[in-house]
Chains A and B, each alone.
Chain A
Amino acid sequence: MLLAVEARAHHDVPPAVVKGPAPVYPEGAPADGEARRVLLRLTIDAAGQVQEAEVVQSAGALFDQAAVATVRGWVFRAATRDGQPIRSRVKIELIFEPPGGVAAGKTALAPPQAPAPLMPEGPSPHAAPSAEAAQEEVTIQAQSRMSTRGAGDVEVHLGKLRAVPRQDAASILKLAPGIFLTNAGGAGHPYQIYLRGFDAREGQDLEFKVEGVPINEVGNIHGNGLVDTHYILPELVRSLRVVEGPFAPQQGNFAVAGSALYDLGLEQRGLSASYMTGSFGTQRALLLWGPSWGGPKTFGGVEVFSTDGFGANRSARRMTAMAGYEGRLGETGRWQVLATSYATHYAQAGVLRVDDLKAGRVDFYGTYDPQQGGDSTRHGLVFRMEQSKGGFSWEQSGALTLRDFRIRQNFTGYLEDPQRPWQSEHPQRGDLIDQRSKTLTLQALGSGRKSWGALGRKHSLELGYSARIDDVDSLQQRNRAGTVVPYRRDLDLASVLTNVGLHADAELRPLPKVTVRGGVRSDLFHYRVQNRCVLTAQAGFGGDEPDTECFDNDRTGYRSVDQTSSTASDTLQPRASLLLGPFGGVTFSLARGTGVRSLDPQYINQGLETPFAVATATEGGVAYTGELAGGELSARSMFFRTSVDRDLFFNQTEGRNTLAEGTSRTGWAGMVRLITEHLDVAANLTLVRAIFEDTKLLIPYAPSVVGRVDAVLAGALAEVGGKALRGTLGAGFSYVGPRPLPFDERSQSIALVDAAATIRWGWVQLGVASTNLLDRRYRLGEFNYTSSFRTAGFLPTQVAARHFNAGEPRAIYGTLTLSLEDPS
């Protein structure tokens, strides 16, 4: 269990802001629309208090005084050496935005004003002879990021909540309200995401961006817009922003239910190695490196993971590598490169019938078809540049992704293999669906924002673009039961999918404490789809050899087996939000916007204008930020309604999403978070009613009640050998209410507790974590549809029956982490 790594130097952790009000534009200062910057050097004592504040770069007396006054009220988490708090020195750049609006981009749940250390400066932090005398200089830029779009725009900084067990990057999503994740497909299978009454499947309704670059997979045969976040190391997620609706013009394709924006980075400097082992033969080795000469965006991480799984056919193997580098671009800019590589091979248990379980014909953690599983590889390169100068800032990104995806699933057993006239006599050969997609994606994104002053307040306008091309090769076959031998081709597509989007996003402050943000987005989608097997069925069979898969004749004679269709469509999506406040920490917001999801290539017809799935969302909410018990309290409450004109639903027969009627979701979501020196608690609850617009019937499978509580207690326990012994205790509680199922049934509810504890002394940390601590036997997913697995004889059932995926039983994992100094 121990990784043999020798510690060769101290482990230093730079200071971070715990509490820090935003800088306030000084009264009497000129409001010419230009931001003012003051660079300060702070000396922070071992208690995290600001001892000294020295102006290094002045913006004028008024601004200098305001800057010093601002930081005097800040509280830091003291820098530490080998876990011991030490005195340190940091540079802080405060940017004063002209008055007139709420604190731009500072969401209620974000920790105060971008505490991230960006660039070490001055002498090596490791040169100091003793901890007491150690002084470290890092520059902290207190500039806000993208503007909030209202109460449903949630930025989640993990902070201490990192101590709550989270197996992967997707699990962090649960900190945002209304998100429920299931993974019925095994450890390597992408998560199925439910958000505000949307069954977003593996991402079809939720735009995902990592470092600003979309990662939804256009044209993936398992689901158009599929997202596989397994390639992201959760330890490298600094923050997550979830916009629960299409409210910002920057949100692109698949932002129907909203967007999830991952910000990567590694705060901790030095080398750390950890090894985890535990239940079900699970092992995970992780190496993280953050060189002392780099900022959080400069890092490296490698993971090797394997598990036998908690039941039959659930083993998984994966390896992940991520590396980032950030450099300066002039005085006010930076460039960044991110490289990722990921591969996994996993088995999948699939669904079980409840009647088989009750009759003892199958074990709760069993499987029908051991050939279910998948493979997934992803290799990517992202390059970003950004710069801010005067009243203008710009950014530009480019990305290249190579993706290979395969999944084999059997939902229906022996049901979907009809005897066709052109086929040799055969029994039901099994319904194992074998899907493959191979994709090359090129993307470019960029924007520029100009700020100006008017009416004594600052305004700005951003113009931006996004462009991507996806070259996708997709194949779906059916395999004989228990084998990987295909007997039928369902789909064989070669697609080139192009999307160009333009957006304009304005920020106007017509009145004090009134901010209007929004604009318009226009997307053009172009499709060129070559169907390499057009006729998979023949009504008037004749002329082809028996057992032909793709026919080369039709009623008018010979034809080629393939056919190409191409079309293009464009769409205009207005989005706007109105923010009023803050009034004593309370900000009211109203947002409305339209988002689209591009069409699955399999539905493309020559020349026919492509129908989009269009979602229109409206949200009204209130957010509060204040103090409680010496800590920061934030809370928000929001009502929402989203309508989708053409929704997608998973079809077990097809093994992929298929189009359905218009739907709507109406509900309420709320969340609260309290951060103190030793405690970090976050809770959220979402209630939603999701219905079909025409029949007013409930949408199956979308949970109407989702709740989550995360809590972490952290602090120094004792002093041992002159070093602090620090510990954390974290727990997470998830609740998902009964989900509506077809035929007016309800699923069981889910209530789970996860817990973890760590203890750290010097550069050694020991941790123990348990998921499903109470060992509840639960059904993670429940479905009503028809299947025939022939477990009770050969009389074929044709009526929908209850199926389920087993949830993971209690698992316990132990982790040893060695945090080592950067040898350089």
Chain B
Amino acid sequence: MSRIIPLALAPLASVLALVACVGSTGAEKFEFDAAMGGVDRSPEVPYSFTNEYGWTVTLSQADVTVGPLYLNTVSPLGGAASFWRRWSPIREAHAHQSHLGEGRIVGEVLGQIRFSALSPELVRFPVRGVVSEEEVRSAELWFYPPSEVPPETTKIGSAAIEVAGVAEREGEQVRFRGKLVLDDVWLPNAQVGDRDNTPITAIRQVRGVPASFLPSPGGRLEIRMDLAPLFSSADFSNLAQNPMSLEDPQSRALVQSKSGKFATDQVMRVMYQGLRASRGTYTIQWRP
């Protein structure tokens, strides 16, 4: 017996030390704060810009409702299968209809906020985000209906953005007001089986927004939205036939419609494209 004890204990002690060493499975996960606001500018100065058609647009309202947000490991133009995609025991988060075709979601902010894109003041999401310590190459902004509404619902009442303002060109002035609702109006006229058939959930997603950072504990995510791309090619002269806004009888209403007396106007279409543009509208930054 006296021989056994040292025989057993000597290796035990050494291997205990080995096992006790801190090991890692990599990619520590942690929480972070995320906030969103308009471009960094003086709030004292009117939000104004001139677009491609020479219209000087001055916005008095730009309320955006957005969420959730996601952080992806694949860059916007990427697509190569990653190590993780092929070998990871952890499932890839790309398979949902609204995901990037490739890549892996490593962070998310599973909440929604409403903020004024006219204000540089950042509005914090009501819930903290979660991210693993892995290189982020792109972000996704989803303009989903409220949490209690299934995202596949085609008819919704919540607007992704509500705008109001004045467009002026060569003495002509057009006051406008409108709500962009991401509903079935924006579904392409495609049949099942057509390659350009796009589900409603994809309509509500902006994917591939460029980002490049390695998140670290203690940091926060800042997203700023530039409104100029939403009106960059808007021709406000097209609003002449539009009805007057109910909220402001002096303003033309921006129209989105597939049927009825009025069709979706050009300004609304441009705004839709600008909201969903992966480049130019949004700036993603990680603040350590």
Identify the A interface with B (CB < 8 A).
412, 415-419, 421-428, 540-542, 544, 546-547, 584, 586, 622, 624, 626, 628, 633, 635, 637, 639, 649-653, 658-661, 666-668, 670, 672, 685, 687-689, 691, 695, 697-701, 704-705, 740-745, 784-786, 788, 792-801
Contact = CB atoms under 8 A, between A and B. Distances in A.
A507 B170 CA distance: 102
B90 A784 contact: yes
A744 B26 contact: yes
B27 A744 contact: yes
Given A542-B193, A633-B1, A797-B108, A418 B23 contact: no
Nearest to B90: A742
Interface string B91-106: 1110111110000011
List 8 A-B pairs, minimum CB-CB distance, nearest first. Answer: A793-B147, A649-B89, A668-B15, A653-B91, A419-B199, A419-B97, A743-B29, A798-B105
A652 B89 CA distance: 8
Interface in B164-219: 192-195, 197, 199-202
Nearest to B107: A799
B18 A666 contact: yes
Contacts of B132: 743, 799-800
A151 to B, nearest CB: 11
A687 B25 contact: no
Contacts of A660: 87-89
B96 A689 contact: no
Contacts of B28: 743-744
Interface stretch (B3-11, B232-240, B264-272, B276-284): B3-11
A327 B217 CA distance: 71
25 contacts: A418-B95, A418-B97, A419-B199, A422-B192, A425-B192, A427-B150, A542-B193, A546-B193, A547-B192, A637-B7, A637-B12, A639-B15, A660-B88, A687-B16, A689-B23, A691-B23, A697-B23, A697-B26, A699-B25, A742-B27, A744-B27, A795-B68, A795-B151, A800-B91, A801-B130
Nearest to B151: A794
A698 B23 CA distance: 6
A239 B155 CA distance: 66
Contact of A744 (B25, B98, B201): B25
B1 A795 contact: no
B47 interface: no
A800 B29 contact: yes
Contacts of A542: 193, 195
A744 B193 contact: no
A547 to B, nearest CB: 8
A622 B7 contact: yes
Contacts of A741: 25
B138 interface: no
B238 to A, nearest CB: 31
Contact of B192 (A546, A586, A622, A744): A546
Given A670-B12, A744-B26, A745-B29, A624 B89 contact: no
A317 B141 CA distance: 49
Contacts, number: 192
A624 B96 contact: no
A419 B201 contact: yes
B209 to A, nearest CB: 15
Nearest to B132: A743
B91 A423 contact: no
Contacts of A650: 89
B241 interface: no
Contacts of A687: 12, 15-16, 18-19
Contacts of B21: 689
A689 B152 contact: no
Nearest to B27: A743
B111 A795 contact: yes
B87 A659 contact: yes
B221 interface: no
A653 to B, nearest CB: 4
Nearest to A661: B87
Given A653-B92, A689-B19, A744-B28, A799 B112 contact: no
A585 to B, nearest CB: 9
Nearest to A740: B25
Given A418-B95, A628-B1, A795 B144 contact: yes
Nearest to B105: A798
B44 interface: no
B14 to A, nearest CB: 8
A79 B96 CA distance: 68
Interface of B: 1, 3-4, 7-8, 11-12, 14-16, 18-19, 21, 23-29, 67-68, 70, 87-93, 95-99, 105-108, 110-112, 130-132, 144-145, 147-152, 192-195, 197, 199-202
Given A633-B1, A795-B147, A799-B105, A697 B24 contact: yes
A350 to B, nearest CB: 15
Given A635-B8, A687-B19, A799-B132, A786 B105 contact: yes
A509 B148 CA distance: 76
Contacts of B96: 415-416, 418, 428, 788, 796, 798
Which of A415, A628, A670, A800 has the largest count of B CB atoms less than 10 A from its CB?
A: A800
Nearest to B92: A653
A820 B66 CA distance: 75
A538 to B, nearest CB: 10
A740 B26 CA distance: 10
A415 B98 CA distance: 10
Contact of A422 (B130, B148, B193, B200): B193
Contact of A421 (B111, B152, B195): B195
A123 B14 CA distance: 59
B92 A792 contact: no
B142 to A, nearest CB: 8
Given A421-B193, A700-B90, 14 more contacts: A422-B192, A424-B192, A428-B152, A547-B192, A626-B1, A653-B91, A672-B8, A689-B23, A698-B25, A743-B26, A743-B29, A794-B148, A797-B108, A798-B93
Contacts of B87: 659-661
Nearest to A746: B25
A784 B19 CA distance: 22
A650 to B, nearest CB: 7
B163 to A, nearest CB: 25
B91 A786 contact: yes
B3 to A, nearest CB: 7
Contacts of B195: 421, 540-542
A799 B16 contact: no
B147 A792 contact: yes
A635 B4 contact: yes
A152 to B, nearest CB: 14
B130 to A, nearest CB: 5
B29 A795 contact: no
Which of A425, A584, A667, A796 has the largest count of B CB atoms less than 10 A from its CB?
A: A796
Contacts of B8: 635, 637, 670, 672
Which of B95, B111, B152, B202 has the largest count of A CB atoms less than 10 A from its CB?
A: B95
Contacts of B93: 786, 798-800
B222 to A, nearest CB: 19
A668 B90 contact: no
Contacts of B199: 419, 425
A544 B147 CA distance: 36
A550 to B, nearest CB: 16
Nearest to A585: B3
A796 B12 contact: no
Nearest to B202: A419
A698 B112 contact: no
A785 B90 CA distance: 5
A496 to B, nearest CB: 28
Which of A415, A421, A658 has the largest count of B CB atoms less than 10 A from its CB?
A: A421
A705 B21 CA distance: 13
A778 to B, nearest CB: 21
Nearest to B112: A795
Contact of B11 (A639, A689, A700, A705): A639
B70 A624 contact: no
